[in-house]
Structures are given as structure tokens and as C-alpha cells.
A and B are shown apart, each in its own frame.
Chain A
Amino acid sequence: MAESEVLHAEHRLEYPYARSTGPVIGAFLTALREGRFLGATGSDGKVIVPPTEYDPITSDDVGELVEVGPGGVVDSWAWVSAPLRKHPLQTPFAWALITLDGADTGLLHVVDAPGPDALSAGARVTARFRPEAERIGSMADVEAFEIEGGAS
């Protein structure tokens, strides 16, 4: 059989899962829809963002939810020069761990920057939320983070 006669086909395997959010993640996502970030207070007083439902040390319920951000600091980052179709941005961007103001843990998100030279550990960034009408209560309600004061 000639190579050209061997068949090929595009396949798609898809499961339309939905999951319940619970009271803590649900509150976090609800706040995102409102254009705000919430963190959970742990037993050691540290603020966990995104919030966990249980305290990472004692496994008890976490404490009060407190507002953090929308600004923060880049802890570490990786530049994506050739975004894939499923990436949140279609222009080159950085994945970054961002400690929001008032938080003690890093949030993974994307930084929309003109190039890798604009980024550094310690760089100040701010969340850019989607327009209110487009927000649905999802991590993607934050379109991206931007370098504060433009590219530096």
C-alpha cells in the first residue's frame, strides 16, 4: 500500500465536566467576577491566594477571606515566545508567579509585556480585568497582568 493511501483523521476527545466550587473557591471566583481578588487567612496569619479551602498547616477550615491586590510583585517568570492556540494570550507573554499586595503566596497567571526585557523578579504588576459584562467568575476574568507604569 502506498504511503498516500494510509488514512489520517482528526479526532477530538472531550468531556464537558463541571465541578462545584465550594464556599471558598466560590467566593474567590465571585470576587473575580466583581473585579476583586480574595485571599484566605491561614492559621499562621499568612494570606493564601488563590485561597485553599483548608489550612495547609492544620487542615482546619481557613479563616477570614480578605481582599488583596490588584497590584503585586513578580516572584518568578518564564517567557513564552510562541504562544499555542490554547494559551490565554496569542501574543508573546510570560507565565508568572505573582504575589499580590497583601498576600503571602504566589498566584500563577500571565503577564502581558512587550518582551522578556520588561520582566524581572521583583517587577511590579497590576491585574487587567476583562470588561464587567464579559466576566463569568473564572480565572480568565483576569485577562492578564501588566507591568506597572508601562514597560521598564
Chain B
Amino acid sequence: MADEQTDDAGPVTMLATPIRLDFEFTPGVAQSKFLRGLERGEFLGQRCGTCGKVYVPSRGTCPTDGVPTTEDVLLGNSGTVTTFCVVNVPFAGQSIEIPYICAQILLDGANLSFMGLIQEIPTDQIRMGMRVEAVWVDESELIPSLASVRYFRPNGEPDADYDTYKEYL
């Protein structure tokens, strides 16, 4: 730290001023269920009893109807890429080798997409509507975190029709 701040012989020209916030986070009941599901290797969502939409991850309420989502819904392992981004730019803290694909994935039966990493495909072959499946870490390494999903990869099915995901872009 002293090296960052000063040259021992010369005047002080720089000052390290780190900002740090330590806090305890609780995801609450609904997201804890989702995270506990990940710990079992499952995507667990919740359905709104009023509009019928399935949220994964669920925040415990339906943002449209303002009612609690009480019905748990177990979703499958496959979904559709609704939109994507190929990351070519290095940045501090980057943990994945560039280029890589970051995609919004709509799980089958869900009405909310979430972000996932796409692997096992050249970056120039990713496309909207591509069918993908989750690849999980080894069972012994499952934790209540999205880190339990290593990535998504093409599952070999024909691309989904645009109409099936156009509401989720």
C-alpha cells in the first residue's frame, strides 16, 4: 500500500482511497426457494394465481397483479435464447475468456428470462431462438447460487419460432 501512495524519496502525489461496504444480504423467502432449487440442480419458479405467468427467479409477488405468488413450479432444463451479446471487451475482474456469449434465456414454461453464459458454440453461430440447455456443476459442487449452472449450450433442437418468445425481448 505504501508503494501505491508514495515514492519513498519524493513528495506524495497519490493517495489510496478505497471505498468498502460490508453488508449482509438476504434474498428473502421467494428467492431463497429459487436458490435452494439451484442447490438441488433444479430451476424452481412461481406462478401468479391471477394472470398465470411463471416467474423464475420469483420475487414472491406478481409485478403485474401485485399479488403474492404462492404456487411453486418446477421448470425443465431447456430454454430459448431470446437475445444475446458477444463480449469482446476485456474488463477488470473478468473471469471468462473472451470472446464469450451472454444471453437472455427463457426457460420452457417460464414467462421471465434471465441472463446466462452460452458455451460449446462458436460465438458467430449464436442466434435468437436458439434452443439451449443448462450444464450444471458436479452434484458435489452444487450451491444455492447461479454459479451452480456452469453455462448453457445448444441442445440440438430446431430453433424456436419467433412468436414463442417475441414478448420477452
Contact = CB atoms under 8 A, between A and B. Distances in A.
A117 interface: no
Q: Is the interface of A mostly helix, strand, loop or mixed?
A: mixed
Contact of B11 (A16, A30, A136, A138): A30
A7 B35 contact: yes
Interface stretch (A17-25, A44-52, A69-77, A97-105): A17-25
Interface residues of A, number: 27
B116 to A, nearest CB: 21
Contact of A17 (B13, B18, B22, B35): B18
B148 to A, nearest CB: 13
Overall SS of chain B's interface: mixed
A54 to B, nearest CB: 18
Interface residues of B, number: 30
A19 B4 CA distance: 11
5 contacts: A7-B32, A14-B19, A15-B18, A15-B19, A21-B12
Interface of B: 1-2, 4-6, 11-29, 31-33, 35-36, 144
> Which are the 7 A-B pairs with shortest beta-carbon distances?
A137-B12, A29-B12, A14-B20, A13-B21, A30-B11, A136-B2, A7-B32
Interface of A: 1, 5-21, 25-27, 29-30, 33, 136-138
